[in-house]
Structure 1
């Protein structure tokens, strides 16, 4: 959070009525399977990953992936986020400029 604030950015907690044009990226805290080599253990822990848009395409920037994975456009992003949230124990932060946070402009009008 301190790193974001030093760049005049903020993290926000909601997914309702997202104004995607105002959001710079997403930080997700998701459940992750623990494994030893090829053996999956019956233990889960949380893992952080980021999502960012570049030239109209959103990318999954998970460090466990070999390279960024394209998610698609806005409709695909919303499905991607819903899928993670449906797993439970998932948190999604919106990365927005401080002015957008203060104005609440990351939400679309009803």
Structure 2
């Protein structure tokens, strides 16, 4: 019996990994210095900015001077992306098993808007 695996370099596997890293950073918070400019005056990206930028709408109540993480990152856009990415991952998982997702009967309740 052959194993059905996820392509680890693309969505939904990659997004599920990013979501897990974001979740772990929030749940197991470790203080860190966040700077906006390096010594040579080039913008220094936070690790989450490189992973997540462009995946969802940024928090609209933040200004240009706010850092990506956590200010611009954490908002409705991120929450919506997290829910949709999780559903997409689980859907593909159950598809690989040739069965129906266990939450299929309540999919309408999982909307974010």
Q: Give 1 or 2: higher helix fraction.
A: 2
Structure number with larger C-alpha Rg:
2
Q: Give 1 or 2: higher strand fraction.
A: 1
Q: TM-score range by the shorter chain?
A: under 0.3
When the two structures are superposed, what TM-score results if normalisation uses the length of structure 1? 0.24
When the two structures are superposed, what TM-score results if normalisation uses the length of structure 2? 0.24
Structure with more relative contact order (C-alpha pairs < 8 Å, separation 6 or more)? 1
